[in-house]
Structure 1
């Protein structure tokens, strides 16, 4: 019987961005949920911010983190619905080098169990930009719990089999650090 050595947990640097015209640091329960869960899992909060639902403000803030070699993951909450102000997918999609098609599909499948057909109004999105993993979740605290607990947490854990994103992020970090000299 062959035994594969157990992989060690690798803490990642994760930034959290709340997209909202109304939330403040005191009322940002979705951002709080994500920070609580990522730190409980053993990851490091790299940064946290709240940005109004504006395509260019979103792109500017996320672009800063994409360019920062120390930020490996960005999780956004909010702006994924269909109101006239919801613009997270439009802001983030052009920044992505590769989309994770299965993320939005799986998020909606899991959400269907919780909220039924209302899940079709979620435009959850995931992708990779300059070696930085990006996940865009709806703004509700429940959606953040669902996204983290049922999808993101395992994909950011090197011990999860058969695959996860940690190896991809580590290789991307090595390339980015070599390029910066």
Structure 2
């Protein structure tokens, strides 16, 4: 848990999956934990490399969701790293609190969670360095991006919780959005 939270964003998804079973672990769960340890042992030389010359003063974030990825509960998982100077400074990977009805909704909730990370990282960095321009939030779902930019209430999006609309309100003045096909890969366990 410590590695996933503090120094190794590449294992945070896998660790969150095995952490769900802490109260009643099975042999299969222990096998998954051993695979994570094996991966960490094989990648000891991996790390976060911050570069002074990589987009100086620019905060960049990504948000993504796997629609109904948990086969037992059908909940989606959100992932959202914030990058500065070429490496992650903050990241999240957790299961969404509710079951969603579309990929658009899953991505919209991921954008909402990512927005919280961007706000926190932006405040942190402003206290330490000079930022240039607005942070950039990248989202790879065109429908969710349209909803972020223009949250029209129509039949297909009316059910999305109001609390997720804060991302739309914040995005109008705090950062720029764009679509990105870039995927941040996490090891498969």
Bigger Rg, which one = 2
Q: Which has the higher helix share?
A: 1
**Higher relative CO (CA 8 A, sep ≥ 6), structure 1 or 2?**
1
Normalised TM-score (structure 1): 0.31
